[in-house]
């Protein structure tokens, strides 16, 4: 666990020879030597790595020889090894195991990274070489993969502003540096709000309705926060969501819910609303410099969707049936309130509680009955076994390889021939210093430009750890999240390309969720659950009748889930088509937009604007939160191919899936890649059927 006391930011006492971040790693499989890396290593490592890569870039740009693919694109792909090595460790720790010291460094280096990147992307001599190659690409004798890499480089430079002149170039540089600063601050503000909040519960009525697994987790949370003998609910989803499902104390549910949905708008130093407005204004200005009317138009121009209209059409086509279903669900909840003697209207903090009661009534199932059969270790094993049956992968835990925290598990991945494929790290538990949510990242991506470089992939979750000597139990949504992120992990592990530019998940944002969301489908197969869903005390498999009830209830509450998601996606899209931004009240805009689309007052956006990290912690999903649904159209259609075959592990389909989707990286245009697998592009029908909205 990296928890080093921060030393003076300005100090640069380390030398290249004694700084592990600047050395060639001789550890097993090239895993970062986490135990040797100290906080004070990062600043001098970045200083050295920036200088080294700048020399490499200048040498490429100033090469007196005529540009060719080898001396320009190949050279760019090789440049920056030291920086990638240092940055991969640093930014992964900033998300998964941060500290005050790391956060201070992060605030300081964010603009430095932005400036360094823009110095490359706005290098006129370098772009001239790329432009020359791109113009004459058909006469260069390139492979299809090289064509794709050259096209992506040219697009990246143009979209960064390489064709801008004079003051516009300078302004673009300033914009990107400022966005890096405030994006970092946005993330840190959310983490601060999440770490500060705690709902302290006492023995007795405060615990009414809470199942044993949640009480145990809350007791451990309290002890870790210095409240021995009490219980604490935190803003981690693995804590707050089950509390909202089971707590009989309506007053406490409201208190916890309001804290959860108000992250980032508390009015103090961690309030994100001004950051949102500044971010939107800067993004809009950047888009206009590049010739686009809005930032959404700019962002979507390089995605599968293409235009904001295409995104809006998809979202609204699903919104209406989802809204109808959510309205029906709300009516059922209100009836349940009345049945139980309640004399109040259902509110947002009531939805999960009464929804669980309706599910129990209608499907004879509840979370407390299911959870004992969903052990974390068993669901991990299920994800691994599915990968073995589909792709022939094998996983061996490496107890002798240390990671950045004692909870992180390390696995070697090999193929059916026993050949090394990569390293997989699983970081599953919620803890202080880890941002909320779940994600996949890498410490090293796959490539074959100079020999075969195998990937080091990490999945990060925030599940509640079981009590001392107890199994860690998951909800079915937790299990689905694990499969989802492991699908991303497989996208990185199975990558089989030559160039880092197109490795693994380096694909269009509205295509990248296809491998992850598709993988979720296998969790819901009875042959998977009947094998791996075993009781944590008895070891007995889940009873067949319970399994069938679980699967029959899979689309329960789907109106709610779809509405909370689409509302977030529509607000994201609307925000990035606004201008001007003077006087924009973020909270007021959110309310007005939701009223316009008919958002039920009993449902809140899945991610409200002040804590919408997907959109404002960086550019990743900005004007792109729709991507999950765009990809879902494909994943529903893709899995139907397996269902129609009569075997969800059909070997022929699995081989095509691996070849065209999981291992192809960004080698092909996403639409072409999907058609190569399925033979055609998908329609929306399979998605509506999957969500039970047809």
Active-site residues: which are they? 485
Q: What residues form DSSP beta bridges with 451?
A: 449
**Distance of alpha carbon 313 from alpha carbon 684, whole angstroms:** 11
Q: Chain-centre distance of CA 408, in angstroms?
A: 18
- CA proximity to 231, closest of 220, 243, 244: 220
Q: What residues form DSSP beta bridges with 395?
A: 413
Using DSSP's 3-state secondary structure scheme, residue 422 falls into strand
Q: What residues form DSSP beta bridges with 457?
A: 424, 442
Residues in the chain: 694
Is the dihedral angle over the CA atoms 671, 672, 675, 681 positive or is it negative? positive
Which conformational region is residue 471 in: left (phi greater than 0), alpha (psi within -120 to 50 degrees), or beta?
beta
Structure tokens at 11: 């100090």
For the chain, the distance separating the N- and C-terminal CA atoms, rounded to the nearest angstrom, is 48
Structure tokens at 505: 């998940």
- CA proximity to 218, closest of 203, 204, 232: 232
**Distance of alpha carbon 591 from alpha carbon 593, whole angstroms:** 6
Is the bond into 693 cis (omega within 30 degrees of 0)? no
Q: What is the DSSP string of 414-455?
A: E-TT--EEEEEEEEEE--TTS-SS-EEEEEE--B-BTB-B--
Place of tokens 């538990």: 429
Strand stretches in 604-650, DSSP E: none
Query: What's 541's DSSP letter?
Result: B
**Distance of alpha carbon 376 from alpha carbon 217, whole angstroms:** 14
Place of tokens 């090239």: 30
**Distance of alpha carbon 633 from alpha carbon 641, whole angstroms:** 13
């Amino acid at each position: 666990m990296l928890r080093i006391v921060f030393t003076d930011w300005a100090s640069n006492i380390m030398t290249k020879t004694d700084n592990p971040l600047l050395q060639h790693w001789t550890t097993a499989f090239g895993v970062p030597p986490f135990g040797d890396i100290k906080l004070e290593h990062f600043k001098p490592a970045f200083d050295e790595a920036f200088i080294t890569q700048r020399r490499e870039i200048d040498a490429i740009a100033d090469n007196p020889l005529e540009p060719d693919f080898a001396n320009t694109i190949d050279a760019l792909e090789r440049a920056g090894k030291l920086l990638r090595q240092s940055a991969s460790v640093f930014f992964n720790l900033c998300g998964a195991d941060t500290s005050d010291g790391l956060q201070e460094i992060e605030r300081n280096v964010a603009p430095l990274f932005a400036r360094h990147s823009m110095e490359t992307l706005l290098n006129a001599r370098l772009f001239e070489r790329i432009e020359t190659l791109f113009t004459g690409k058909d006469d260069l004798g390139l492979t299809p993969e090289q064509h794709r890499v050259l096209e992506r480089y040219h697009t990246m430079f143009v979209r960064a502003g390489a064709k801008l002149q004079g003051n516009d170039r300078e302004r673009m540089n300033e914009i990107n540096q400022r966005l890096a600063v405030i994006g970092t601050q946005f993330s840190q503000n959310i983490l601060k709000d999440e770490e500060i909040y705690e709902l302290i519960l006492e023995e007795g009525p405060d615990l009414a309705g809470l199942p044993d697994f949640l009480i145990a987790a809350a007791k451990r949370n309290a002890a870790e926060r210095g409240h021995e003998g009490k219980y604490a609910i935190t803003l981690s989803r693995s804590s707050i969501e089950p509390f909202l499902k089971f707590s009989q104390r309506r007053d406490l549910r409201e208190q916890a819910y309001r804290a959860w949905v108000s992250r980032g708008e508390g009015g103090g130093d961690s309030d994100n609303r001004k950051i949102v407005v500044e971010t939107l204004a800067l993004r809009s200005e950047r888009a206009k410099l590049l010739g686009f009317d809005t930032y959404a138009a700019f962002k979507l121009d390089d995605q599968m969707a293409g235009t904001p209209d295409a995104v809006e059409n998809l979202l609204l086509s699903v919104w209406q049936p989802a809204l109808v279903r959510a309205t029906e669900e709300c009516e059922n909840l209100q009836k349940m309130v009345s049945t139980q003697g309640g004399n109040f209207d259902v509110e947002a903090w009531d939805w999960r509680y009464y929804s669980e009661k309706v599910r129990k009534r209608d499907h004879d199932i509840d979370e407390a009955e299911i959870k004992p059969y969903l052990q974390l270790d068993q669901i991990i094993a299920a994800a691994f076994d599915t990968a073995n049956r589909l792709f022939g992968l094998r996983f061996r835990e490496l107890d002798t390889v240390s990671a950045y925290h004692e909870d992180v598990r390390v696995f070697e991945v090999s193929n059916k021939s026993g050949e090394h494929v990569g390293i997989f790290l699983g970081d599953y538990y919620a803890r202080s210093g880890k941002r909320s949510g779940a994600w996949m990242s890498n410490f090293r991506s796959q490539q074959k430009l100079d020999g075969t470089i195998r990937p080091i992939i990490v999945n990060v979750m925030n599940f509640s750890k079981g009590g001392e000597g107890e199994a860690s139990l998951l909800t079915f949504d937790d299990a689905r999240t694990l499969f989802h992120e492991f699908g991303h992990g497989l996208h990185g592990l199975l990558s089989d390309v030559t160039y880092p530019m197109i490795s693994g998940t380096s694909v269009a944002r509205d295509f990248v969720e296809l491998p992850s969301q598709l993988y979720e489908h296998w969790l819901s197969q009875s042959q998977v659950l009947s094998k791996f869903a075993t009781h944590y005390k008895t070891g007995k498999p889940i009873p067949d009748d319970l399994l069938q009830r679980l699967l029959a209830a899979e689309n329960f509450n789907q109106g709610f889930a779809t509405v909370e998601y689409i509302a977030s996606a529509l607000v994201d899209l609307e925000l990035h088509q606004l201008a001007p931004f003077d006087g924009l009240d973020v909270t007021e805009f959110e309310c007005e937009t939701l009223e316009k689309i008919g958002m039920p007052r009993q449902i809140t956006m899945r991610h409200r604007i002040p804590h919408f990290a997907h959109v404002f912690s960086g550019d990743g999903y900005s004007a792109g939160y729709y991507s999950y649904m765009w990809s879902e159209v494909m994943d529903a259609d893709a899995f139907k191919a397996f269902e129609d075959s009569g075997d969800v592990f059909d070997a022929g389909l699995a081989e095509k899936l691996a070849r065209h989707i999981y291992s192809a990286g960004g080698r092909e245009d996403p639409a072409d890649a999907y058609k190569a697998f399925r033979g055609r592009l998908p329609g929306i029908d399979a998605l509506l059927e999957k969500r039970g909205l047809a």
